[in-house]
Structure 1
């Protein structure tokens, strides 16, 4: 990843890797955050390219994964599962419905709600989604050893935990840092 030093374009010492984007001086206090931003952007770009080949957009495959695994869900439950917002989930479900991958049916227990369920067409798509995710994993971790993959996953989980903790903290606690 890029350094916040004059050698910004040369990547981490000893890795021989070129940084794709130098860290701007204004982001110098957050090189890890800048690296996460760049990584997330590239990951989403590659995911989008791979998913478009099977008729999906990034994020739609995650909704489908939950539906395949858990069965029919209320849209509100999908919002919670995906840590999304209602408007985004509404658009996602509508697009999946238009593509023929999900359908809505009335909830037998809550007359105000409908259940979103995968269709037979989506079940045929499952193997393709699994293949795309394996391909994406191969792209991301191409030259990492098994130990490096484990360490990377552990570090990413710790970073996520830190942000979850920060999100749960009172807003004024962030201002003190």
Structure 2
């Protein structure tokens, strides 16, 4: 790949990421949420109560970030945190009734954002996109062990 092609790909990914996050922030603001908090709520809706460390792993974010998000969401009444019954050092996080209601609004917003983002793409492209994006994510995942080929 030459520089011009590499630059075009990298710039497109960078701009999509920046603009998607900005649009997410714009849509979440009326709900009193910031980007990242919706992912925490959606993960709890999918899985049920989780230990905060597991939530960090599931969201692929650092533990202090989850702690800060959880504190803010708890203060707003959207989640409840309590000591894990089998490990007093661990904290279980779960949605409150208000958090479940808010999550339903987030799901609607998430659908609208996806439709807005994917406008103009064919059904086939939309069906392929999650797999393609997952491959790109895996290709740049800094947590994966580097192979011999990567080191060369």
Select the structure with the greater relative contact order (CA < 8 A; seq sep ≥ 6): 2
Following superposition, the deviation at residue 29 of structure 1 comes to: 4.0
Q: Secondary structure at the match of 1:106?
A: strand
Q: Which has the larger radius of gyration?
A: 1
Structure that is richer in strand per residue: 2
Q: Which runs of 5+ in 1 are unaligned?
A: 5-27
Question: TM-score when scaled to structure 1?
Answer: 0.76
Large movers: runs of 4+ above 4 Å? 171-175
Residue matched to 2:10? 33
Following superposition, the deviation at residue 106 of structure 1 comes to: 1.8
Asked if 1:110 corresponds to 2:87, the answer is yes
Cα RMSD of the aligned pairs, angstroms, is: 2.1
Residues 114/55 of structure 1: CA separation in 2 closer, same or farther (3 Å cut):
same
Distance 1:85 1:172 in 2: 27
Q: Which runs of 5+ in 2 are unaligned?
A: none
How do 1:45-64 and structure 2 match up within 5 A?
Answer: 45-64=22-41
Following superposition, the deviation at residue 84 of structure 1 comes to: 0.7
Question: TM-score when scaled to structure 2?
Answer: 0.87
Q: How many residues align?
A: 150
